[in-house]
Structure 1
Amino acid sequence: MNQTDLSLPEFLTANIVGRVMTQIKLPPLSRHYDVVTYKIPAKEQNAHAEVNGAFLFKFDPKSHKVLKASIVYGGINPTFTHAYNTEHYLIGRDFFTNDTLQGALHCLEKEIDPDFNPPEPKPHFRKKVALGLFYKAVIKLCPREILSPKYASGATTAYEDRPPVSRSYQEYDTNRPDYPITQPLLKKEGLIQCAGEANYADDIPRISDEVFASFVVSTIARGEIENIDYADVLVSILI
């Protein structure tokens, strides 16, 4: 049996039909590397990322010059993952100067080109979020002695002695004499979902003459459907 090692970019374009993934290798990094990741979903839990970003930098031990940069985004468009132009721009530059930051943002703004993909947020919104995540990563990695205190809040959890971001939560009391009414119960499907054993629509193999539906966004905010012409659909089914 032949085994092949693929980098992640190679894996994304490789034909893996009939092949089995046996392991994922994460090479160790030295202390000269820094990594920051972000996920921006519509809500805190059980939601996919509208935009996500991961930033990996290797710095010169004696300075803040960038030796290696990896800037990766998700949620931009199907063909965009790496911001290669911005990565190349940063190599050899002092990462924590305003000139470098402005130049990198200018380069990144030209490089990021989100697609129009309803019901996801509009392209200009996702582009602003992506640029903001890069800025947020720079603020988070910037040494405290360099960073002006008025910008420190942009890093959220950058420093342990800074007050935490405020949060809120809700609690619901239950009345034991009324059980099983109001009694907290384990979700029936919870265990098989956590174990990865639950079957979803995408897990079901395709069948012959299967009918597909596609999501269509209406251009009329409030309206009534007067008629549905399904003649073409019936013809395709009967053929």
Structure 2
Amino acid sequence: MPLWPERPSVAVRFDRVEVLPGGPVLDATARAGALTGIVCDEHADAARLPDLLARESDPPAGRLLFRLADGRDIGIADLALDALRRTALVSPHDAVLLPGSIADNLRALTADERAVTDATRAAQADQVLETVPAGADGLVGDRGETLSGGQRQRVSLARALAAEPPVLVLHDPTTAVDAATEDLIARRTAGLRAGRTTIVVTTSPAWLARCDRVVHLSGNSCVTGSHAELLDHDPAYRLAVRR
């Protein structure tokens, strides 16, 4: 069974969160059951956001909150770490894999074979299994050194998707794959995560086009809209996602 059997409806509220000391303030909500993109002009802000959600560090100012279906707000800082881990899974950009086989990594967070199969397909990790000589039994080596960067990212994403957490946070999950594959992964991931809260920190148009809403953090401004709306009305956003 997955680690999160109850599937609670959880929104994530960034209540005037200062991402870095003296940096921009994020004031927005990732709605329950929606796919929310967060675009940061500065790489340092984008790198810090997943750390804040995993409580590897705390924001200099502001609060991160889970908003439950009954309207209650629970501060992430007030949760025990095991309760936080049961609610939110943060999948970092560096795609660190565990020693062992590809199959070991895909099943690391769940024993649900259906979830593994669906996640493997969504992340295009099935293509990895087809190209590795030993398939699912292929060893990944230390930190996944036997796989290419794109292969590591797809296995890492599949592992996170298979866990089916109520809140999933992704940071640039497909920077090492080609554009066509990235678009397919983004589309399938959006479909697989429908009804569950997902946050993707990225500047990738393929992902942002699939988001229900996008938050753009730029200097002292925090602007929210659809990908298309921000492209039309926010010159700094256009620059961030097209550079």
Fold in common (TM above 0.5): no
TM range (shorter): under 0.3
Higher Rg: 1
| TM-score, with length taken from structure 1 | 0.24
| TM-score, with length taken from structure 2 | 0.23
> Larger relative CO (CA 8 A, sep 6+): 1 or 2?
2
Which of the two has greater helix per residue?
2
